[in-house]
Amino acid sequence: MQWTLVVPLKPLAQAKSRLSDTADDGLRPGLALAFAQDTVAAALRCPAVRDVVVITNDALAARELAALGAGVVPDAPRAGLNAALAHGAAAAHASSPAPAGVAALNADLPALRPRELARVLDAAAQFPRSFLADAAALGTTLLAAHRGQGLRPRFGPGSRAGHLASGAVELHPDPVDSVRRDVDTGEDLRAALALGVGPHTAAVAARLLTIEQ
């Protein structure tokens, strides 16, 4: 089964505010972009992924992610994350040919492994609508829906509970640590670095470590 992944990304200047205790305003936009670059690059290497559509209004991010091979769809200003994902899913379904399934994927998975993503998507193929919880078991890193099913995203605080309540099946494939490890805080970043991040994040993190020393 082939999937289109929809990846939402805030304007880089506004992204990753919870990393302010780890990276200053000069480095945080670069980290957010690096996370997205490594996420998209890994996703495009996954054999179950037909294509990746990034939803963003950030011009720099749009150029850099398009250069990796992602499609880019502008976001509706101030519409919010869930509206952006619904917009991206609709664009994917309108494509010709439409994908067998659409999955929303977080843009902050810098340790993402294509083989682990394939394991999650293979599990998602068994259900009309399903999701993967994050490492903290409170949020969601991936929400998947087959063709003909509404994505119906419930991202935000406590999204795992929201997706369960909406009827989506929680997936439990293992090991898929890299697909669960999103990065919101300094502790999350250290955990991702321990897993092994992609080259873009590694380069920016090296600058961060140099500054700290």
Show me where the domains of the chain are located.
Answer: 3-212
Query: Can you tell me which residue has the tokens 């980290």?
Result: 31
pLDDT tens string 135-147: 999 999 999 999 9
Res. 64: pLDDT tops 80: yes
Going by C-alpha positions, the residue among 82, 70, 190, 184 that lies closest to residue 134 is: 184
pLDDT at 96: 66
Res. 117: pLDDT tops 50: yes
pTM of the model: 0.94
Pair 102, 89: CB distance under 8 Å = yes
CATH topology of domain 3-212: Spore Coat Polysaccharide Biosynthesis Protein SpsA; Chain A (3.90.550)
Grouping H, G, I as helix, E, B as strand and the rest as coil, residue 29 is helix
Q: Which two tokens stand for residue 94?
A: 């309108």
Contacts of 43 (CB under 8 A, 6+ apart): 5, 7, 49, 52, 105, 112, 114, 117
Query: Cis peptide leading into 77, omega within 30 of 0?
Result: no
Average pLDDT of the residues in 205-213? 64
pLDDT at 213: 39
Average pLDDT of the residues in 207-211? 62
Share of the chain above pLDDT 70, in %: 94
Is 30 labelled as part of a ligand binding site? no
pLDDT at 100: 87
- The larger pLDDT score, comparing residue 106 to residue 21, is at 106
Neighbours of 179 (CB within 10 A): 28
pLDDT at 176: 97
Going by C-alpha positions, the residue among 4, 64, 6, 5 that lies closest to residue 32 is: 64
pLDDT tens string 154-190: 999 999 999 999 999 999 999 999 999 999 999 999 9
Is 140 labelled as part of a ligand binding site? yes
Is 20 labelled as part of a ligand binding site? no
Q: Which two tokens stand for residue 73?
A: 């769809």
